[in-house]
Amino acid sequence: METGCLLRNESNSHFDNFGDEMMNNREVMIRRPVFQQDDIDRVCNYNSPDKTLSESIKKKYDKFNINIFLKNLFPIFNWLPKYNWKKNLLGDVIAGFTVAIMNIPQGMAYAMLGNVPPIVGLYMAFYPVIVYMIFGTSRHNSMGTFAVVCMMTGKVVLKHNLNVDSHVNSTVDGVIGTSTNHDNSIQIATIVTFGVAIIQLAMYLLQLGVISSLLSDTLVSGFTTAAAVQTYYDVFNAIDDVNVTAMIISSITIVALIFNNEILKPRIGKLCAFPIPIEMIVVLMGIFVSAQMDLSDIYNVKTIGLIPVGLPDPTMPDLSLLPSLIVDCFVITMVSYTISMSMALIFSQKLNYEVDANQELLALGLGNLTGSFFSCMPFTASLSRSLIQQTVGGKTQLASLISCSIILFVLLWIGPCLQPLPRCVLASIIVVALKGMFLQIKDLKKYWRLSTADGCLWLVTFLSVIILDIEYGLLIGAVICFSRLIVLSIKPYTCKLGLVPGTDLYLDTNRYEKTVDVPGIQILHYCGGLNFATKIHFRKSIFKVTGVNPQKQLSRQLKDDTKKIKCDLNNQKYFRVLILDFSALTNIDAAGVSALHCLIDDYMKINISIYLAGCSVAVFETMRKCNATQRNEPFTLFPTVGDAINYAKYENIESVNVPVIVSSTIDTWTSSQDINYNDSNYISRL
């Protein structure tokens, strides 16, 4: 049989049942033999990729290249030698300066959320950021403090502070026993940072970067919204203890920030790419007013207080407390990594470059490990600063180097100038910054419209964080999210396919009314995985869609004392061939292959044959291995549903006078008698 292809634009009588919209469609005519999978393998010279373990290891290390390895381990060696100084330097300098101006007030403010001294926020804007610049793969993530992560760390610090007090006072040498409450807070925060670093590095060694995708956007949205609500609740809960002067300063600061964000920023953004450094302006104004009016002594307004000049000495965290904090460390790890990867993926998709999820784990882990020796809390990407860094022209992580240089200058020389700054100014910055997270409550309506399950996940996570606590709320949301994934994975989609008359298209009969059944044949489409977890659902789906349960048929046969069930081909209820369309079968394991064999055996007992069509190469190879290992009969496999139908019509239902579609032609039909399946040369005529 010859093979050819014809493209034409003629009207066709076979389209009459479909209306005028089908009359002028282009038609493709392809004439070829009917293939089984073995025929395809032979004609196309199938080559199995199977190798022994030693061969796989040898192949891997034969291709080992030290230069490629170092570039992958240190991504800075990839982009820095190729850096376009003329094109990118100005944008990175501007972005670095802008981010540094934002980082100073935000870092100090978010450090207060973590119940640690404000100076810790500046340390976090320096030490881990330098490490991330070397090891990170995102070009635009601005690393450092982030409200939610600092808030979660602050909860841990607050919860364990009393335990640390009793622990440090019992220290043998008595040296640590003189620690202040701030020292205790920093100690706990650095232990959390160390624990987060260890978990992230372990995840990197196990190549678990994909785990970031397990926390859905719905979960993160509900979680962060509830975290913002908790902060606002704490603010209003302490309203009775408010200092009137501090309240006035906070009100003025909040109004100024909101006025800038809602009115000035949109208008100025159209004229200039540089945002107004409003946070830095209110900080400078707060310092000036506090120093001139002596707010600390006269009005009892709390200020930042003593800021040490220089960099902290490296100190090893007290690891004896780590076991009691490891659960909190894991929760913070998941949240910080998810936030960082989400921002990295947003920029990589927008600007067409790749980020490595596992390498990001290494960068975050090493950054936190370094930060744990220098009084830092866990760090992650900041949404607002990252967007600003990209918007004002930042191209690479060189912007982070510029930002770190400015932060270092502040730590070494400018720090004491920040001491008069009222803490209420930093608190106002937090309140306004969390406004965007608070307004995410509107996402509930969007998620509910998209999916009731997503809406429920958002609502349950939100309420769990509000009613219980951040850690428990995240745990409950994650359990629901994972449970939903499991349910979706063990209940794949199955439907019956019907033929579109005059074509070789097979569509879902429940959704397409003009499809027709092929006499004597049923076609089932299975989408998902077939494994130990889904095999039972797979069998039930087959029985439900076909309407035939072989076990029940056999029991009825015994009851009626009938020797054999006869299929009435004139009745659409009965069929002789069942074709399983596995074109959307993602994976299969030994249990799935065994389930297929059992299914085929059961249907064969009632004189129904099962053919498999459209299996991917990976699925086909797994089937072949299992058949060889278990010494089972091989499956009857076809590359397409059309091949399986044509073969089935010739082999199984010759008594039915129906045409066989040997090609995807619209109007060329060939009788089954045109094909001699016993002719070993029919494929060679290609």
Q: Indicate whether 283 pLDDT > 60.
A: yes
At 366, the pLDDT band (50, 70, 90 cuts) reads very high
Q: Indicate whether 285 pLDDT > 90.
A: yes
At 332, the pLDDT band (50, 70, 90 cuts) reads very high
**How many helices and strands in the chain, by DSSP H and E?**
28, 10
- Rg of the chain over all Cα atoms, to the nearest angstrom: 34
Cα 514 to chain centroid, rounded:
39
pLDDT one-digit tens code per residue, 141-196 = 999 999 889 988 998 998 887 554 444 443 333 333 334 566 789 999 999 999 99
Nearest alpha-carbon partner for 470 in 72, 250, 152: 152
The pLDDT, as a whole number, for residue 523 is: 92
Q: Indicate whether 9 pLDDT > 60.
A: no
Two tokens, residue 223? 């979680």
Amino acid symbol at 649? K
Quote the CA–CA distance of 117 and 114 in Å, as a whole number.
9
- Entry field: residues in the chain: 686
Determine if residue 63 is left, alpha or beta; phi over 0 gives left, psi from -120 to 50 gives alpha, anything else beta: alpha
Give mean pLDDT, residues 270-295. 85
The pLDDT, as a whole number, for residue 155 is: 87
Q: Indicate whether 273 pLDDT > 70.
A: no
Residue of higher predicted confidence among 222 and 368: 368
At 10, the pLDDT band (50, 70, 90 cuts) reads very low
- Do strands 143-144 and 380-381 pair parallel, antiparallel, or not at all (unpaired)? antiparallel
Range with the lowest mean pLDDT among 246-250, 490-494, 654-658? Answer: 654-658
Quote the CA–CA distance of 325 and 156 in Å, as a whole number.
8
Report phi then psi at 507, rounded to 5: -125, 165
Q: Indicate whether 209 pLDDT > 90.
A: no
Quote the CA–CA distance of 538 and 490 in Å, as a whole number.
9
Instruction: Provide the 8-state DSSP code for 28.
Output: E
The pLDDT, as a whole number, for residue 94 is: 87
Give mean pLDDT, residues 66-84. 86
The pLDDT, as a whole number, for residue 345 is: 85
**Cβ count within 10 A of residue 620:** 20
Quote the CA–CA distance of 61 and 41 in Å, as a whole number.
30
Nearest alpha-carbon partner for 158 in 315, 328, 354, 373: 328
Amino acid symbol at 137? T
- What angle (nearest 5°) sits at the alpha carbon of residue 636, between those of residues 635 and 640? 125
Helix (H, G, I), strand (E, B), or coil: what is residue 219? helix
The pLDDT, as a whole number, for residue 558 is: 62
The share of the chain scoring above pLDDT 90, in percent, equals 26
Instruction: Provide the 8-state DSSP code for 319.
Output: G
Q: Indicate whether 574 pLDDT > 60.
A: yes
Q: Which range in 80-84, 234-238, 567-571 is most confidently predicted, on average pLDDT?
A: 80-84
Two tokens, residue 604? 């064969």
Cα 314 to chain centroid, rounded:
36
Contact 119, 307 (CB under 8 A): yes
Looking at every residue in the chain, the average pLDDT score rounds to: 80
Q: Indicate whether 641 pLDDT > 60.
A: yes
- Do strands 521-530 and 577-588 pair parallel, antiparallel, or not at all (unpaired)? parallel
Cα dihedral angle (132, 133, 137, 140), rounded to 10 degrees? 110
- Do strands 27-31 and 4-8 pair parallel, antiparallel, or not at all (unpaired)? antiparallel
Amino acid symbol at 315? T
Contact 101, 429 (CB under 8 A): no
The pLDDT, as a whole number, for residue 18 is: 52
At 485, the pLDDT band (50, 70, 90 cuts) reads confident
Residue of higher predicted confidence among 360 and 490: 360
Range with the lowest mean pLDDT among 142-146, 375-379, 529-533? Answer: 529-533
Two tokens, residue 590? 């030994």
Cα torsion angle, 179, 180, 185, 190, sign: negative
Helix (H, G, I), strand (E, B), or coil: what is residue 274? coil
Q: Indicate whether 128 pLDDT > 90.
A: yes
Quote the CA–CA distance of 561 and 12 in Å, as a whole number.
52
Cα dihedral angle (642, 645, 650, 651), rounded to 10 degrees? 130
Helix (H) or strand (E) holding 250: helix 244-259
Contact 83, 398 (CB under 8 A): yes
Residue of higher predicted confidence among 75 and 338: 75
Q: Indicate whether 31 pLDDT > 50.
A: yes
The domain spans of the chain are: 4-44+492-674, 77-171+180-435, 444-490
pLDDT one-digit tens code per residue, 80-107 = 988 999 888 988 998 898 889 888 898 9
HSE-up of 108 (CA within 13 Å, CB side)? 29
Cα dihedral angle (526, 531, 534, 535), rounded to 10 degrees? 90
HSE-up of 65 (CA within 13 Å, CB side)? 5
Class of domain 4-44+492-674: alpha beta
Quote the CA–CA distance of 340 and 348 in Å, as a whole number.
12
**What's the first-to-final CA gap in the chain, in angstroms?**
7
